[in-house]
Amino acid sequence: MSPTEMALPPLRRSDCLICPARSRTICAAVPEEQIDRIALIKRPARQLKPHDVIYVEDAQCVEYFTVLHGWVALTALLERGQRVVLDFALPGDFFGFQADPAAPRTQSAVAITSVRLCPLPKAEVEALINVDPVVAAHLAHLIAAHEARAHDHVINSNTREARQRVAHLLIELYFRQRQQLPRQPHDTIELPLTLALIADTIGLTPVHVSRTLRRLREQGVVRFHRRRLYIEDPDALMRVSGIDDWPLTTGALKRE
Amino acid sequence: MSPTEMALPPLRRSDCLICPARSRTICAAVPEEQIDRIALIKRPARQLKPHDVIYVEDAQCVEYFTVLHGWVALTALLERGQRVVLDFALPGDFFGFQADPAAPRTQSAVAITSVRLCPLPKAEVEALINVDPVVAAHLAHLIAAHEARAHDHVINSNTREARQRVAHLLIELYFRQRQQLPRQPHDTIELPLTLALIADTIGLTPVHVSRTLRRLREQGVVRFHRRRLYIEDPDALMRVSGIDDWPLTTGALKRE
DNA sequence: CGGCGAATTGATTTTTTTCAAGCTGGGTGG
DNA sequence: CCACCCAGCTTGAAAAAAATCAATTCGCCG
């Protein structure tokens, strides 16, 4: 792990320099001139198809990942085949890090769309953060943002009824794609989810999500059709969701 | 922030050396001979009464905390005075750290019982973790454990009905006090919560929590009375909760 | 054109909330 | 020492929300 090693394979370095996710994920803490700290430990990008499993619960944890392209679902699988979506990982997101690196996985990760990942070997990342305080401190804040988002989901599930929950999730996913809240009427984003995935994220049944989306459509708020979301009335959507229009940069959305 | 400063106030050092929480929280990453890194930045212990507010949402964030004694509720406050309990902080727990140190608080913290805290100034902690990779790496894992617990709460709220949710919370809190799952029939722990707090944690109404606890009592599973929990039948409780008997050390409990 | 996963819809049941009325027990002030 | 106060708990009845069950329908793909 000597970062001063100077026999650099230039190809790998340039890989990282043109990486679209470099300004986010764990690499954001590595200045350009030190990019080899990451470039030397990362594995070749990995391409996955929809439904491909990245890792499953109880498996040995050997790698962490950055999403380069596509959507990943982080899920927990329960007794009777029940599934909970704990979070989505979108391009630029770092996932797979866990409290105890030696323990087996506590969650599963599955590709929702076709996905390209940058795998980072666990051992090397752990070695790096035990040596580089800037990367480690950045990682701590990154994970705190994940925690904040998880808290947001708890709030969503615990206090809101179906309409609000759906609206809140849609806004969260819009925000994570665009880095801003919806403003333009008839704006549209890609939303490559099934009703079942949405249901497993907000703790409802797909049937009830369908009915809820129908009502939102009938009231001219949003339309969800063919993996695409049409935000007909952004203000109405915000009102339904109970989110204040003051976005935080921490991963969670501001509440009223 | 020079850790090599040698004019040490010996009293502060010994404070930390006898601290009951030292093996946990953020201090666990600091070896005994370097304890002054913490001892020199910490503020005097602070004593609070039940219902005292430690910080509120939107306030400026100036300190992080370790719980020395007592129970703290980390909550989010919503529009119509609705409250969500995001987590509890028990003795040895570190709380108050957030993704963006410059942003206002995203949650509130309130003393449930009488509480003794060790306050750590934000600026000094942030400076420390940007300089000491071992502390920073430890903190990242600590926060990841918080995230795992938040995910556990999402699972609880999203997939389980009242009986399971209550049972799951009771086991979580037992585990966090005793570091093990309940085994002995008629075992008892202190549980200084109101029904309203329990309800706001698992996303039910106090009324429904009352009914649920009544049923559990009638079936000889647990009794909750006067801030004390009597676990009459640990096996039944585990069965109701849907938790496997394989505890993780990461802050979350293993699921079936 | 048939098949299949996903979405929709209706009817019914279950769970949870809401509203409202008592109850209880510890603490306070007379 | 007693009366009463009050937060917190309990209980019942009715309403609301969501799940469940059971058909269809839709749209894509082979």
Q: Report d(CA B176, CA B180) in Å as an integer.
A: 8
Check: CB of residue A231 under 8 Å from CB of residue A217: no
Q: Which residues of A touch B145 (CB under 8 A)?
A: 99-100
Q: What percent of chain B has pLDDT over 70?
A: 89
pLDDT of residue A242: 84
Contact A224, A243 (CB under 8 A): no
* pLDDT value, residue B245: 46
Q: Which two tokens stand for residue B99?
A: 């993704």
| B161 Cβ neighbours under 8 A, 6+ residues apart | none
Give yes or no for CB of B159 within 7 Å of strand C. no
Q: How far apart are CA B214 and CA A255, in angstroms?
A: 34
* Interatomic CA distance for residues B156 and A203, integer angstroms: 10
Which of A79, A133, A157 is closest, CB to CB, to B154?
A157
In this predicted structure, the answer to whether residue B223 has a pLDDT above a threshold of 50 is: yes
Is the minimum distance from the CB of B80 to strand C below 7 Å?
no
Backbone angles phi, psi at B208, to 5 degrees: -75, -35
Residue whose C-alpha is closest to residue B66's, from B40, B87, B37, B46: B46
Q: Can you say how many angstroms the Cα of residue A148 is from the centroid of all Cα atoms in its chain?
A: 13
Judge whether A164 is closer than 8 Å to chain B, CB to CB: no
pLDDT of residue B242: 84
Per-residue confidence at B254, pLDDT binned at 50, 70, 90? low
- Please name the residue of chain A whose CA is at the shortest distance from the CA of residue B204: A158
As given in the structure block, the two tokens for residue B150 are: 């938040």
Mean pLDDT value across residues B98-105: 96
What's A221's DSSP letter?
S
Q: What distance in Å separates the CA atoms of residue A106 and residue B125, rounded to the nearest whole number?
A: 29
Is B172 in contact with B165 (CB distance < 8 Å)? no
Count the neighbouring beta carbons within 10 Å of the beta carbon of residue A105: 17
Q: Is the pLDDT of residue B250 over 80?
A: no
Residue of A nearest to B87 (CA): A151
Question: Is A1 an interface residue toward B (CB < 8 Å)?
Answer: no
* CA dist., res. A156 & res. A167, Å (int): 10
What is the per-residue pLDDT across B33-80, written as a single tens digit (0 to 9) for each? 888 888 889 999 999 999 999 999 999 999 999 999 999 999 999 877
Residues in chain A, pLDDT under 70 = 1-14, 244-256
Mean pLDDT of B8-29: 79
**Tokens 């980072």 belong to residue:** A120
Range B9-38 average pLDDT? 83
Residue B247 pLDDT > 50 = no
Query: What per-residue confidence (pLDDT) applies to B14?
Result: 65
Nearest residue of chain B to residue A246 (CA atoms): B58
Instruction: Flag if B151 and A150 touch (Cβ within 8 Å).
Output: yes
Residue A166 confidence (pLDDT): 97
Helix (H) or strand (E) holding A48: strand A46-48
Q: Do A78 and B242 touch (CB under 8 A)?
A: yes
Distance CA A167, CA B241 (A): 30
Q: What is the pLDDT of residue B100?
A: 96
Query: What is the model's pLDDT at position B11?
Result: 54
Residue pair B231/B239 in contact (Cβ under 8 Å)? The answer is no
Question: H or E segment at B63?
Answer: strand B63-69
**Which of A143, A152, A238 is best to mutate for the B interface (most B CBs within 10 A)?**
A143
> What local confidence, expressed as pLDDT, does residue A40 receive?
86
Both tokens assigned to A14: 């340039």
Q: Which residues fall inside 7 Å of strand D, measured at CB?
A: A 161-163, 203-205, 207-208, 226; B 194-196, 206-207, 210-211, 213-214
Q: Give contacts of A 36-55 with B, CB under 8 A.
A: none
Closest by CA to B110, choosing from B68, B64, B153, B48, is B48
* Beta-carbon contacts of residue B115 (< 8 Å; ≥ 6 apart): B47, B48, B52, B54, B67, B69, B70, B71, B72
Which of A105, A151, A172, A66 shows the shortest CA–CA distance to B151?
A: A151
Please tell me the predicted confidence (pLDDT) of residue A39: 85
The CA-based angle A100-A83-B74, given to 5 degrees, is 55
Task: Please give the backbone phi and psi of residue A207, each rounded to the nearest 5 degrees, phi first.
Answer: -60, -45
Ranges of beta strands (E only) in A83-183 are 83-89, 94-95, 108-111, 115-121
Q: Is B162 near chain A, with CB under 8 Å?
A: no
Q: What are the backbone dihedrals phi and psi of residue B158, each rounded to the nearest 5 degrees, phi first?
A: -85, -25
Could you please report the per-residue DSSP string of B170-236?
HHHHHHHHHSS---STTEEEE----HHHHHHHHT--HHHHHHHHHHHHHTTSEEEETTEEEES-HHH
Q: How far apart are CA A230 and CA A237, in angstroms?
A: 11
Most B CBs within 10 Å: which of A56, A158, A245, A249, as the mutation test of the B interface?
A: A158
Distances (CA, A) of B77 to A181, A255, B109: 22, 9, 11
Cα dist from B246 to B42, B134, B165, B175, whole Å: 36, 29, 18, 12
